[in-house]
Amino acid sequence: MSFDMNDAEPQKSGELIPDGTFAKVTMTIRPGGTDGQSEIDRGLLKASNAPGSDVLMVDAEFTVAEGPHVRRKFWQMFTVSGGKVDEHGVSIGWKISKGSFRAMIDSALGLDPQDMSEAAKAKRILRGLADLNGITFVAKIKVEPNDDPRYGDSNKLDRVVLPSEPEWRKVMDGEVLAPSPSTRARPKAASPAAPAWGQTVASPPASAAPAWSRPAQPGTAPATAPAATPAATPAPSGPAWLNT
């Protein structure tokens, strides 16, 4: 048997996605073998390999969905339990990760982050963290320096871009934006180590599947709170991004 290498893809250059790039990305959760609190999170979480650490994390892979950097990937951990707590005994890591996950839902579904109607709140309820697998949202990507000379710099999620921001609509409409690097100071030898976050995990949501609307399509306006919106009826299946 012979192997024809003529149709092989060109070798990757190894260049990073430019700092400050806006792009639509899809998040895939890479199972880590440790059970979460929800039934659908069995084997989902990854345990820290640091000696004595009790940190559990979501191991996320982000793939650029469209545009000049389509199919480029980067990776990031989100702590959901273990580690330090704040002065009130609340998990620091979970609070940060939970805020990012809520922003992903708002960005994916075109929800106004200020919309706290019953219908909007119902769309933010997860059966478990596994419901976030496959979510597509607008992101700002950064370059994170590495102070370990054995490893190069890497791309990370700078922040989730919300429907209330002008860049969200432009990216959703397919416009390619010029990179806008973060203005915050980042020393050349900034440490990439993540804080030892979190200890507790938020109570798992109801077992009913989330009643989420379909992701916003280009040309449509973000959802806003109606004057009197009735509570949404739970849908029989998972998140909208898995049903499109």
* Domain-located, residue 4: no
Query: What confidence tens digit (pLDDT) does each residue in 230-239 have?
Result: 444 444 467 7
With tokens 């430019």, the residue in question is 18
* Domain-located, residue 62: yes
Distance CA 133, CA 108 (A): 12
Overall number of domains in the chain = 1
Distance CA 157, CA 178 (A): 17
* Domain-located, residue 198: yes
* Domain-located, residue 222: no
* Domain-located, residue 1: no
Residue 1 — pLDDT band, cuts 50, 70, 90?
Answer: confident
* Domain-located, residue 10: no
- How confident is the model at residue 220, as a pLDDT? 53
Percent of the chain with pLDDT over 90: 58
Please state, in angstroms and as integers, the Cα–Cα distance from residue 10 to each residue in 6, 37, 74, following that order: 10, 43, 19
pTM: 0.74
Q: Which residues form the domain of 199?
A: 21-181+194-216+232-242
